[in-house]
């Protein structure tokens, strides 16, 4: 059984929607997050439109929540005929443990939604699928490296007493693996900035998961010398 990871391409695109019920009345609390990740197990790649023009509810395929990171907004939806006093009472109760339950409300359902382009990763092979893949491929590894160098050049100068920056190798593509195990700077198709990943002699791994960088570089000199 293959493990599949689904995440958003852009930040602030993951939403948790809690539905609360009382005496036939429904209210909802939506909270937005910068990033979200779900996993599922399936012999076949889940049938998900990665362009995701209308939003995707994490419902089928037994998706399991792995993380919702850095909450950045929240919003309530109330019936039009609900009084301002009751709305204020509900919003105030939210800040306390079991606050809504004490008012007689029950949370019987919670929905999770991803909006905008999605990224699907085969955790077994490291393959990454994205509707943005063609656009990403248009930027070669050399272009990404050049953009990175430009960003570094535009950064404010470092103090004179700062430690000397180590000398790094040139960028190598994924067909040229490192000669030594260790931590390296890498570039991937799904994230246009430099990440750190570990090469164990057989595969690249980041935060416990296998990844497939398009380019990497490391220290040009042994730091122990």
What are the 10-residue block averages of pLDDT along the chain, 225 residues in total? Answer: 92 94 95 94 93 91 91 93 95 91 94 94 91 54 66 64 70 88 84 82 83 84 60
CB 42 within 8 A of CB 99: no
pTM greater than 0.75 (yes/no): no
CB 214 within 8 A of CB 137: no
User: So what's the pLDDT on residue 22?
Assistant: 95
User: So what's the pLDDT on residue 59?
Assistant: 84
Distance, in Å, from the CA atom of 130 to the CA atom of 190, rounded to the nearest integer, reads 8
Residue 159 CB contacts under 8 Å (≥ 6 apart), including other chains: none
User: So what's the pLDDT on residue 137?
Assistant: 47
Domain boundaries, the chain: 2-121, 139-217
User: So what's the pLDDT on residue 138?
Assistant: 47
What are the strands, taking DSSP E only, across 59-190?
64-77, 106-114, 118-122, 128-130, 172-173, 182-188
Distance, in Å, from the CA atom of 4 to the CA atom of 191, rounded to the nearest integer, reads 18
């Amino acid at each position: 059984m293959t493990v599949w990871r689904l995440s958003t391409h852009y930040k602030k695109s993951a939403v948790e929607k809690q539905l609360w019920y009382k005496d036939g009345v429904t209210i909802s609390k939506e909270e937005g997050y910068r990033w979200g990740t779900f996993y599922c197990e399936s012999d076949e790649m889940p049938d998900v439109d990665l362009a995701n023009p209308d939003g995707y509810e994490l419902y089928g395929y037994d998706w399991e929540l792995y993380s919702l990171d850095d909450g950045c907004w929240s919003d309530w939806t109330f019936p039009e005929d609900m009084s301002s006093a009751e709305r204020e009472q509900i919003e105030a109760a939210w800040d306390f443990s079991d606050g809504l339950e004490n008012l007689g409300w029950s949370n019987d359902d919670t929905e999770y939604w991803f909006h905008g382009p999605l990224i699907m990763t085969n955790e077994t092979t490291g393959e990454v699928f994205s509707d943005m893949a063609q656009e990403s491929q248009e930027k070669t590894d050399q272009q990404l490296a050049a953009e990175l160098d430009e960003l570094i050049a535009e950064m404010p100068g470092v103090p004179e007493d700062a430690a000397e920056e180590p000398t790094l190798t040139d960028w190598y593509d994924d067909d040229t693996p490192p000669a030594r195990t260790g931590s390296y700077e890498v570039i991937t198709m799904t994230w246009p900035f430099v990440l750190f990943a570990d090469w164990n002699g057989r595969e690249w791994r980041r935060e416990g998961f296998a990844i497939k960088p398009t380019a990497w570089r490391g220290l040009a000199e042994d730091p122990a010398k």
